[in-house]
Amino acid sequence: MKFFVDTAEISEIAELKDLGLVDGVTTNPSLIMKSGRDILEVTKEICDLVDGPVSAEVVSLTAEDMIAEGRKLAKIADNICVKVPLTWDGLKACKVLTDEGFKVNVTLCFSANQALLAAKAGATFISPFVGRLDDINIDGMDLIAEIRQIYDNFAFETEILVASVRTVNHVTQSAIIGADVVTVPPAVLKKLVEHPLTANGLEGFMKDWAKTGQNIL
């Protein structure tokens, strides 16, 4: 399973990239706002930093304008993946941009039927938002399992990119189900390394080592 980093903060991406944990990056208007940077400038910097897909989102609502924005975003770098919303106009834009050879990430997916339509429209990635479903008492991981089965049934090449990841359990369950990608905020990604038994074990080792009075360096 691939890890994408869900942020527009260059320092966070660079740190995780150095550990080999970044297969791609996803951004959206909210993340760009938090970064305080110009969208074209920060997206270009991210593309230069990572080799994998970098999702950059259109902000128009009509297919015609989405297509125009998508073409402009795609000129930033070869690894740009144009992100469009899962609306009727978004699907139209997805089909045109995909036919023109661009990678497309269809976002804000909340149902298996939506995911099926996105795959038929040629999406490179489908982004189901599991955390937002959990927020309304619907198990977001059930949706990932449904999409996985549908895509496998018909051999769709669209990759399942699990988004709105809030917990480490979302990551574990995505891997078990067989999602292709999870896009994870840096804070959640770092929590994957944590376990109380690891911390307790290390504390015990350090106490015992101190009693030996030895040094390695």
Task: Return the H-helix or E-strand segment holding 4.
Answer: strand 2-6
Encode pLDDT of 207-216 as tens digits: 999 999 999 9
Query: Which stretch of DSSP H or E encloses residue 29?
Result: helix 29-35
The Cα 21–Cα 152 span in angstroms is 27
The reported pTM is 0.94
Maximal CA-CA distance, the chain: 72
pLDDT tens for each residue of 58-97: 999 999 999 999 999 999 999 999 999 999 999 999 999 9
Residue 57 token pair:
């989102």
Of the pLDDT bands very low, low, confident and very high (cuts 50, 70, 90), residue 34 is: confident
Angstrom distances, CA of residue 11 to CA of 40, 50, 74, 80, 117: 17, 12, 23, 19, 36
Place of tokens 């938002």: 129
Band of pLDDT at residue 6, cut at 50, 70 and 90: very high
SS3 label, residue 81: strand
Q: What is the pLDDT of residues 11-22, one digit of tens each?
A: 999 999 999 999
- C-alpha to C-alpha distance for 65 and 40, rounded to whole angstroms: 17
Structure tokens at 147: 């999409």
- pLDDT for res 125: 98
State the helix-helix crossing angle for 112-120 and 140-154, rounded to 10 degrees: 40
First-to-last C-alpha distance (Å) of the chain: 38
Exactly one of 83, 92, 103, 207 is catalytic; name it.
Answer: 83
Is 83 labeled as catalytic in the residue annotation? yes
**Amino acid, single-letter form, for residue 132:** R
CATH code 3.20.20.70 for 2-190? yes
